[in-house]
Structure 1
Amino acid sequence: MGKVLSFGELLLRICPDGDGEWLKENKLPFYVGGAELNVATALALWQVPSAYFTALPANFMSEQLLGYMQGCNIDTSRIYEGGDRIGLYYLPKGKDLKNAGVIYDRANSAFAMLQTGTINWDEVLEGISWFHFSTICPALSQAAADVCLEAVKAASERNIKISVDLNYRAKLWQYGKQPAEVVPQLAQYANLIMGNIWAAHKMLNISLPAGIEEADRETLLAQAQKTSEEIIQQYPTCQSVANTFRFDYGKGIQYYTTLYTDQKLYVSKEYRSEQILDKVGSGDCYMAGLIYGFYNRNEPQHIVDFATAAAFNKLFILSDCTTSNVATIEQTLTQHQFQ
């Protein structure tokens, strides 16, 4: 097996407190992230050969970030040098990326300004057996969407497995197109599609009954199977579909997921916690867990259980990417035996 290449924009998360103490202290916590880099970091930590593609400007900040990624055992040799700036986003402590308080500062970033016809895909995809991206990429700009399509076509032509995370960020789709106008042409190349029933409806035009938000667990699981079957019917290249269910209550959380593969729905254990630390990157950790399982040819039930435990474990780690190794995740899995 070759390396897993994660394709997307590197971001710096600026994380001010909600009370403005950062102004008095003259310091702001920050984290290195970006959905695809979070996946690449987790896979490298779990001993899966991991490479990353993004665009970074030629400056000392980029040099330090390259050193950071190399220290995480991520192959950075394919990163494109060019552009003027690194993307940023601001998110108050403890908030979710879907929260209205998130502020993006990504316009005209090096990645968003990439153009088709400028990347040597023979070099970028050399030695790659799995290509991963998220729908955050085509949300940035028409140019980024075009490069993303060029990338998945190049990967498909080389018989590289492709996965996509249906990340929906309403604030990013600002260049005149809606996700359903862009994402389907990308998804047609994917072998593994991850998201949730609502994202599939929004981005792939998959049917969803009214009032499903108030449905019980059994109904949601049945809908996960229907959504998965409809995706595979509409996108014949797709072999597996994963759906996550994360519900907040107070400061706590309820979390479970499904994996549909080989015409069967596999359901994870269900996790609950009265408090969590950081919601950012949990879905990326789940995506990494799926890739880890398929890459190692694990059984479907173990794939979905491991990925779910990894995602739940990430909720208690204060950073964009996980720091939990495989042994820690397996321990999380054995400690939660309830359904």
Structure 2
Amino acid sequence: MAAGKVLSFGELLLRICPDGDGQWLGENKLPFFVGGAELNVATALALWGVPSAYLTALPENFISEQLIGYMQDRQIDTSPVVMQGERVGLYYLPKGKDLKNAGVIYDRAGSAYADLTPGTINWDAVFEGVSWFHFSAICPAINQNVADVCEEALKAASERNIFISLDLNYRAKLWKYGKDPVEVMPALATYCDLIMGNVWAANKMLGMPLQEELVADIEKEKLLQHATLTSEAILKEFPKCKIVANTFRFDHGTKGIRYFTTLYTQGELHVSQEYVVDQILDKVGSGDCFMGGLIYGFYHQRSPKETLEFATAAAFKKLFIESDATTTTVAEIEETIREYAN
């Protein structure tokens, strides 16, 4: 594929992490991290040497200036950023919790990004020199306007033959504007060349069949069978899509994790090596890191299997990093693949 920039589109969020016991109130301190699913992807790609650009909306104030400086220090091209509105989106997540966990509180209404409307973004300028466009299902979950902006972006990217990837991130606490994901996502998925998620998200967001008997006992062979089933259903329903990736992440013991992934393309299911570990640090951003790894591999025209192993190891390493985006280098990821090789 043409080696242009990878453009990631989504909302920059600040993740604020109060401790569960309320100690932060006595200490007057709240740890926070710069996040947002698509920014995590953009940050990983820039770290790994892929030309990475980021499109979001931020208000004109000193916080935004500092955030833009922060991204530029990480070699992310921020020229597409739209300056408008009044505030940066926030979310609160108790330390060590998972985003799918009920603990998350979103404070995103009325943010600069949530106030985006169709017709505001100059797609000619934004897509200049771009060969890959990435977004996630979190964007259209915010409100109808943002969903419409996503569709506008996808049309513009398709017209320019830009490769499009979608992460089927499901956030139950968003989707509050009267539509179910399955009423919005299939129209957007139509434009996508690569769809990443898991068999549950594909069911919830794209209406793909979910066979309960295959997922009931989380037996690996049955899960792999379901990955094939889901992938083939997606490729059939969305003919433009050529690659489907699924992640499987399960708790292991009290604080550990069991993790493996699949990639289906050209009629073949590739399965990653499995990572099992007794203790992890932070689940946030692991899926974004996996997505970044897929983009990295395909961008460099690696084989599907190599791409999958790289993405899986990158996501696994992210479980030991206390921030939203990864700080692991390509060399460290490749070392991890060797270290855990069966």
Report the TM-score, using the length of structure 1 for normalisation: 0.99
2:248 aligned to which of 245, 248, 254: 245
Rounded Cα–Cα distance in structure 2 between residues aligned with 1:165 and 1:38: 12
Rounded Cα–Cα distance in structure 1 between residues aligned with 2:63 and 2:159: 35
Residue identity opposite 1:320 in structure 2: D
Q: Deviations over 1:143-185 (max 9, x none)?
A: 1101011111110110000000000000001000000000000
Rounded Cα–Cα distance in structure 1 between residues aligned with 2:282 and 2:121: 35
Q: How far off is 1:322 after superposition?
A: 0.1
Rounded Cα–Cα distance in structure 2 between residues aligned with 1:301 and 1:149: 31
The match for 2:273 is 269
Alignment of 1:1-339 (within 5 A): 1-211=3-213, 212-249=215-252, 250-338=254-342
Q: How far off is 1:214 after superposition?
A: 1.9
Rounded Cα–Cα distance in structure 2 between residues aligned with 1:159 and 1:295: 15
Q: Deviations over 1:209-233 (max 9, x none)?
A: 1242324100000110111011000
Residue identity opposite 2:267 in structure 1: Q
Query: Helix, strand or coil: the match of 1:260?
Result: strand
Q: Deviations over 1:178-219 (max 9, x none)?
A: 000000000000000000000000000100112423241000
Rounded Cα–Cα distance in structure 2 between residues aligned with 1:213 and 1:200: 17
Query: Helix, strand or coil: the match of 1:137?
Result: coil
Query: Helix, strand or coil: the match of 1:170?
Result: coil
Rounded Cα–Cα distance in structure 1 between residues aligned with 2:43 and 2:334: 18
Residue identity opposite 1:254 in structure 2: R
Return closer, same or farther for 1:215/1:280 CA change in 2, 3 Å cut-off.
closer
Q: How far off is 1:263 after superposition?
A: 1.0
Rounded Cα–Cα distance in structure 2 between residues aligned with 1:197 and 1:79: 33
Rounded Cα–Cα distance in structure 2 between residues aligned with 1:209 and 1:23: 46
Q: Deviations over 1:302-338 (max 9, x none)?
A: 1000000000000000000000010000111111023
Q: How far off is 1:18 after superposition?
A: 1.1
Unmatched 5+ residue regions in structure 1? Answer: none
Rounded Cα–Cα distance in structure 2 between residues aligned with 1:35 and 1:45: 16
Rounded Cα–Cα distance in structure 1 between residues aligned with 2:134 and 2:246: 17
Q: How far off is 1:20 after superposition?
A: 1.1
Q: How far off is 1:21 after superposition?
A: 1.0
- Number of residues paired by the alignment? 338
Residue identity opposite 1:51 in structure 2: A
Q: How far off is 1:82 after superposition?
A: 0.2
Q: How far off is 1:75 after superposition?
A: 0.2
Rounded Cα–Cα distance in structure 2 between residues aligned with 1:295 and 1:213: 36
Q: Deviations over 1:246-292 (max 9, x none)?
A: 00131110000000011110000000110000000000000000000
Q: Deviations over 1:39-68 (max 9, x none)?
A: 000000000000000000000000000000
Rounded Cα–Cα distance in structure 1 between residues aligned with 2:271 and 2:212: 23
Q: How far off is 1:118 after superposition?
A: 1.2
Rounded Cα–Cα distance in structure 2 between residues aligned with 1:210 and 1:268: 23
Unmatched 5+ residue regions in structure 2? Answer: none
Rounded Cα–Cα distance in structure 2 between residues aligned with 1:215 and 1:268: 16
Q: Alignment identity in percent?
A: 68
Query: Helix, strand or coil: the match of 2:326?
Result: coil
Rounded Cα–Cα distance in structure 1 between residues aligned with 2:212 and 2:76: 43
Residue identity opposite 1:234 in structure 2: E
Rounded Cα–Cα distance in structure 2 between residues aligned with 1:154 and 1:182: 18
Q: Deviations over 1:95-130 (max 9, x none)?
A: 000000100000011111100011110001000000
Query: Helix, strand or coil: the match of 2:118?
Result: coil
